[in-house]
């Protein structure tokens, strides 16, 4: 049983109920985060909360919570839910209105919901133990505000389903110019001739916290070259290695794209170096 938080109270998740007039339910009008926590230690708590505050400001949801308020909530959920390997889900919707009307209502309080769910143990930097991901590709048909971590995820859900129905773990997305944006729930990287390359931050992709930590640990280490620039679909298909990153997957090696091997079809050496640095540095963020 999971203990959840809803609008000021902690309760078993089964008892958490929201109004069907909540704009999160009616319009997907909300912002969310997923923060990983291992044995009571969160990864990237500060950056996750900063991204949520940016998202709330970007969509005009006014919630007067400091980083300390969020820390108290997260730590309580960790304590209540056993402090194992947890994903902490944080969700703020614009709140429940008395009518369904598109414009932002005045004087409604945002709905704040949070719960903790079990996630896999942290990935280890070991080629023999690494899960090798198989992915699909498709044209990115989401909206032009993908930098906002909105709860309106139908576009992402449909893209994820595209890969899932083909027996794949994820779907890589390409824009109208045949450039890589990200995956349905991950950021994406390629490795070519020893260099790590990922699309630059803009409105076409989420500013992933794992992406941020990974780029930072690689740059601090300095032994692997890193570049943020547009990546064509052709470059992805001819890369030596491809990775997808997210809070629970960390740096995940992709060995097949649409049924074709990436590079030599094995988990790569540069992945091993990158996940090693990530594992060593992640709790510093």
Using the rule CB under 6 A, give the single segment among 11-19, 207-215, 227-235, 262-270 that binds ligand PDD. 207-215
Closest separation in Å from C-beta 110 to ligand PDD: 20
Q: Which of 227, 249, 248 is nearest to 239 (CA)?
A: 227
Instruction: Restricting to residues 239-268, name those near ligand PDD by CB under 6 A.
Output: 245-247
Q: Per rule CB under 6 A, is residue 182 in the interface with ligand PDD? A: yes
Residue 71 or 108 with smaller CB distance to ligand PDD: 71
Instruction: Restricting to residues 52-91, name those near ligand PDD by CB under 6 A.
Output: none
Residue with tokens 């389903």: 161
Instruction: Restricting to residues 26-55, name those near ligand PDD by CB under 6 A.
Output: 34
Strands (E), the chain: 3-6, 9-12, 30-38, 41-42, 85-93, 111-118, 133-139, 170-174, 180-183, 187-192, 195-198, 226-228, 241-246, 250-257, 260-261
Q: Per rule CB under 6 A, is residue 186 in the interface with ligand PDD? A: yes
Active-site residue, from 99, 149, 249, 282: 149
Q: How far is CA 241 from CA 71, 173, 255, 261, 267, in A?
A: 37, 17, 8, 10, 8
Q: Per rule CB under 6 A, is residue 199 in the interface with ligand PDD? A: no
Asked if residues 37 and 104 have their Cβ atoms less than 8 Å apart, the reply is no
Asked if residues 188 and 182 have their Cβ atoms less than 8 Å apart, the reply is yes
Residue 36 or 96 with smaller CB distance to ligand PDD: 36
DSSP per-residue codes, 14-29: GG----TTBHHHHH--
Interface residue with ligand PDD among 204, 210, 255, 275 (CB under 6 A) is 210
Q: Per rule CB under 6 A, is residue 274 in the interface with ligand PDD? A: no
Residue 5 or 45 with smaller CB distance to ligand PDD: 45
Q: Is 127 a catalytic residue?
A: no
Residue 152 or 237 with smaller CB distance to ligand PDD: 152
Residue 96 or 173 with smaller CB distance to ligand PDD: 173
Q: Which of 96, 77, 101, 102 is nearest to 87 (CA)?
A: 77
Residue 96 or 282 with smaller CB distance to ligand PDD: 282
Closest separation in Å from C-beta 279 to ligand PDD: 15
Q: Per rule CB under 6 A, is residue 187 in the interface with ligand PDD? A: yes
Rounded to the nearest angstrom, the gap between the alpha carbon of residue 222 and the centroid of all alpha carbons in its chain is 25
Instruction: Restricting to residues 149-168, name those near ligand PDD by CB under 6 A.
Output: 156
H or E element: which one contains 277? helix 269-281
Q: How far is CA 200 from CA 145, 189, 211, 220, in A?
A: 15, 11, 11, 19
**SS3 label, residue 205:** coil
Using the rule CB under 6 A, give the single segment among 11-19, 76-84, 208-216, 232-240 that binds ligand PDD. 208-216
- Side-chain-side CA neighbours of 258 within 13 Å: the count stands at 8
Interface residue with ligand PDD among 110, 123, 163, 208 (CB under 6 A) is 208
Rounded distance, CA 116 to CA 87, Å? 6
The site for ligand PDD (CB under 6 A) is made up of 34, 156, 182, 185-187, 206, 208-211, 245-247
Which residues are part of the catalytic machinery? 149
């Amino acid at each position: 049983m999971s203990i959840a938080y809803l609008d000021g109270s902690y309760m078993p998740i089964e008892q958490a109920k929201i109004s069907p007039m909540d704009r999160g339910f009616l319009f997907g009008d909300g912002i969310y985060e997923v923060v990983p926590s291992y044995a009571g230690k969160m990864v990237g708590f500060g950056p996750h909360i900063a991204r949520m505050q940016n998202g709330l400001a970007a969509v005009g949801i006014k919630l007067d919570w400091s980083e300390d308020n969020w820390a108290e909530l997260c730590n309580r959920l960790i304590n209540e839910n056993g402090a194992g390997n947890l994903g902490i889900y944080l969700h703020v919707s614009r709140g429940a209105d008395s009518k369904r009307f598109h414009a932002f209502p005045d004087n409604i309080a945002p709905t704040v919901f949070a719960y903790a769910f079990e996630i896999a143990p942290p990935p280890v930097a070991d080629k023999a133990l690494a899960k090798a991901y198989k992915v699909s590709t498709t044209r990115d048909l989401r909206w032009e505000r993908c930098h906002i971590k909105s709860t309106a995820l139908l576009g992402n859900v449909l893209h994820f389903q595209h890969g899932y129905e083909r027996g794949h773990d994820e779907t890589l997305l390409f824009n109208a110019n045949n450039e890589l944006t990200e995956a349905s729930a991950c950021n994406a990287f390629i490795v070519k001739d020893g260099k790590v390359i990922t699309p630059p931050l803009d409105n076409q992709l989420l500013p992933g916290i794992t992406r941020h930590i990974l780029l930072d640990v690689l740059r601090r280490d300095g032994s692997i070259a890193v570049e943020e620039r547009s990546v064509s679909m052709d470059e992805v298909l001819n890369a030596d290695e491809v990775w997808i990153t997210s809070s629970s997957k960390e740096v995940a090696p992709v060995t097949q794209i649409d049924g074709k091997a990436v590079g030599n079809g094995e988990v790569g050496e540069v992945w091993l170096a990158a996940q090693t640095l990530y594992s060593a540095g992640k709790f510093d963020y």
